[in-house]
Structure 1
Amino acid sequence: MSSSSPVLGARAELDAEEAGTRRRVLDLIASDGPVSAAELASHLDLTAAAVRRHLALLEADGLIGVHAGGASGPARRGRPAKRYVVTTDGQSALSQQYSELATQAMRFLAEIGGADAVRDFAARRVQELEQRHAGALADAGADLTRRAEVLAEGLSEDGFAASARPVPGAAAIQLCQGHCPVQSVAAEFPELCEAEARAFSRMLGVHVQRLATLAHGGHVCTTNIPIIPVRPDDAAPTPVRTRKDDSA
């Protein structure tokens, strides 16, 4: 008599498939959020009922939440559709990094080398990022919209769930990163975010402005990219400022 049941085996396969679909839903919310159930169903080629089931489970687990801001696009009659974003717990679930170990290592580096050592490490880290994507950006040419799209594609391959979104009514693109593998480390060491923003300026050849970060409470890392070309010599990065700095 067989020790395994065909029914149980089929159920295990179904559970694995369901878990994989749920992960795809979570990944898409991270990259495209705030996003509605209808948009998710369209992107993933799922029924509305299937998407709602996955959303309910993800929300019950605390991995996603309803976006508190208003819906984008033209106003519509009736109750606005819920739009979902990934929560802090969801970000942790997405991350495959040993964040606590990395934080301890950064603290040790700061202790023995001081602030300069931390900044040097952050600069070295983004230098590798720039080198990794230099070829793809060169192939993209001078068009800033295309360059931003290529950068977003490269960042997604690096695990940042990135997208490039035009800003309605403005000559700008927002580079959104729905996931950050070093989010918890960057919360304590903002030098990592600052170095990344400077790298984006160099890679795109324009001044960029970091509007929000996951490390400091945003539901997505958002970088504003003007699509007005400037001379390469003028592309020195803008220092990352916070509202607190502006009010000082």
Structure 2
Amino acid sequence: MNQKKSIIGMVHIGALPGTPRNNQQIETIIKNAVADALILQNAGVDSIMIENMHDRPYLNRNVGPEIVAAITSVAIRLRQEVSVPMGIQILAGANKAALAVALAAGFDFIRAEGFVFGHLADEGMMNSDAGELLRYRKQIGAEHIRIFTDIKKKHSSHAISGDVSIAETAKAAEFFLVDGVIVTGSATGEKASLEDVKAVKKAVNVPVLIGSGIDEKNIEEYWTYADGFIVGSYFKRNGNWENEVDEERVQRFMQKVQMF
């Protein structure tokens, strides 16, 4: 792909055991996750990330052993079936758990939240964990697993850090040794401010990813200013993150970016 941009496709694994919306056995959850992942891989995405978004309402940082065990079983099966690089996010803010699963399953990166500057999320107050997280990564021998973090995270209030710009937040994350930063809109499926993306790209030397709202129509607008694009909602049937991956949508999108 030109300019070494990365397209990261999302697999939203089914609601896991113990969560309010769970109504499937783990083997069915795994089967559906593999089906979505193979569609994404066959259409040419550069990497795939899994996330437990169906587990709402989310717990704050500590998700419980039943969730970690279930996600690990999904991740290991996906790693056996999929050859592209893979990443994981465990909601909400379960960054240590994500690192542990990534190490066990042979994944390549995690998406973290609450890395620098605490914020008020819909799960409650989330304090920053960069120091603790990077020490944990060192302790378990997972330094090869990259950490990409949201800054001024979606679905959150940042009033307490309102005097800190998104560029300054990105600089702080870089200073605290993050491997890349993620810029989003205000909610899932909402596009990021182009001015925010430009400001962050100018401020840091680590990769800048856009983490929400990317679709076939606006990808060209953002292409020059980011190093990677996490695409979730748009790749799903009817553009709804709750649905299965839509092969036609993914293929159409990937054909377009191949022309850039």
TM-score, structure 2 length as denominator?
A: 0.26
More helix by share: 1
In terms of fraction of residues, the more strand-rich structure is 2
| TM-score computed with the length of structure 1 as normaliser | 0.27
